[in-house]
Structure 1
Amino acid sequence: MLILDAIDAGYGAVQVLRGLTLSVAPGEVLCVMGRNGAGKSTMLRAIMGQVPATKGRITLDGARIDGLPAHEVPRHGIGYVPQGRRLFGDLTVAENIEIGLMTRGRDARVRDTVLDLFPRLRERMDQVSRTLSGGEQQMLAIARALCLEPKVLLLDEPTEGLQPSMIALIRDTVVALKATGVATILVEQRVDAALSVGDRIAFMVAGQVAETVSAKGLHPHAAHFATYVGV
């Protein structure tokens, strides 16, 4: 289980996270929603060690990971797909995937399992990644993260700007990962996407989790979305 306990974090003198507390269990999808500037992406970066936590604790299966150098966090089993994908654009699909495999010393078995989820990538292994479509680049970013065989997967607005068929593929992938025990934190602005995969939804306001509710029984016009997400 990944637990954030009373985390403060920010950028220099600018504090963004203020006592943020949340958790995600194996096989669970926790959707994190909130208006722009609520601190959602900063929360993911704090988990990854890219933004230092100045107070609180972050633990994975009981072991503290806050304070680790950013390059060490993925080796503990946390895969991260940032907003904007951040692929190595001049490398091929195969080379991007190989970088994911190298992070935790995984082999061709893992690569083949991941490519079974994204058969289109198997057809494009020699293609330079920056020449892929937006949806294919998002597939590759997720595939690279899955090559770690992560315990926890962090996804920052993975459906942004994608066509419906790609959104459906990402949704199906997240659902399939639940069955393997992967815990997922999904930052998402699309209410329909969050409700289609989420077990719980955490609503963030001003660097804190204001409320966490079960996704079961919520509908797109529920008051929570108007309160915490709507403009």
Structure 2
Amino acid sequence: MLELSNLNVAYGRAQVLRDLSLTVASGEILCLLGRNGAGKTTTMKAIMGLLPLMSGRIALDGQAVSDLPPHRVPRTGIGYIPQGRGLFAELTVAQNLEIGLMVRKSGPEVLEGVLELFPRLRERFRQRAETLSGGEQQMLATARALCLEPEVLLLDEPTEGLQPSMIELIRQVIVVMRDRGVAVLLVEQRVDAVLAVADRVAFIENGRNLETLDAAALRADHDILQRHLGV
């Protein structure tokens, strides 16, 4: 289980997160919803140690990770697919995946399992990442995160700019990870995509928790979305 307890985070003098608390259980998809600037991406970066905490605690299965330097956070089992994907553009698909495998010293059987989820990457194995389409780059970023055999998977707007077939593939992989017991924290602007995969939805505004609801409640009552998001 991933636990965020009373996180306070700032960019310089501008505080973005204010006593934000969330939990994501193993085998659960929790989606973060909020207007632009609500603090969703900041939450992801704080978990990965890319932004320092003013106060608060981040723990995985009860063990604190909030004091770790960023390069050690993935070794605890937290995989991150950021906006922009963060690929090594001049490296090949194979080399990008090898970097993911190195994080926790995963073996070739892990790579084979990842390529079964993304067979197109097998076809592109020797191509440089910069030559891939946008959808293929999103596949590669996701596959690289899966190479470290994550216990927690963070995805920041993974379907942005993708065609419907790619969106469906990413959705299927997210569900597979959930079914394998991975805790998934998803930032997504597409409400339809959220309602298709989420178990629970957490609304945040101005860096604060508003409420967390079962996704079934949102599917049954769209007035909740109107109240929080204006959609």
Do Structure 1 and Structure 2 share a fold, with TM-score over 0.5? Answer: yes
Q: How many residues align?
A: 231
Contact 2:24 2:184 in 1 (8 A): yes
How many Å separate the matches in 1 of 2:27 and 2:214? 15
Match of 2:143 in 1: 143
Q: Which runs of 5+ in 2 are unaligned?
A: none
How far apart, CA to CA, are the structure 2 residues paired with 1:179 and 1:97?
Answer: 23
Contact 2:218 2:225 in 1 (8 A): no
1:230 paired to 2:230: yes
CA–CA distance in structure 1, aligned partners of residues 218 and 227 of structure 2 = 14
* Separation in 2, partners of 1:107, 1:118: 17
How many Å separate the matches in 1 of 2:20 and 2:217? 26
* Structure with more of its chain in helix, by fraction: 2
Distance 2:25 2:47 in 1: 15
Aligned partners of 2:220 and 2:43: how far apart in 1? 25
Indicate whether 1:63 and 2:63 are aligned: yes
Alignment of 1:37-186 (within 5 A): 37-186=37-186
How many Å separate the matches in 2 of 1:25 and 1:221?
24
- 2:21 aligned residue: 21
Residue identity matched to 1:230: G
In the superposition, relative to structure 1, how do residues 162 and 220 fare at CA in structure 2: closer, same or farther (>3 Å)? farther
Task: Give the SS at the match of 1:219.
Answer: helix
What percentage of aligned pairs have identical amino acids?
60
Q: Is the 8 A contact 1:192 1:220 kept in 2?
A: no
- 1:92–1:126: 8 Å Cα contact kept in structure 2? yes
Amino acid corresponding to residue 56 of structure 1 in structure 2:
G
Aligned partner of residue 113 in structure 1, secondary structure? helix
In structure 1, runs of 5+ residues without a counterpart are none
- Superposed CA RMSD in Å reads 1.1
Q: CA deviation at 1:230?
A: 3.0
Distance 1:220 1:101 in 2: 41
Give TM-score, length-normalised by structure 1: 0.98
- Looking at structure 2, the residues matched to 217 and 33 of structure 1 have their Cα atoms a distance apart, in angstroms, of 15
Tell me the TM-score normalised to structure 2 length.
Answer: 0.98
State the 1:100 CA deviation: 0.3
Shift of 1:53: 1.1
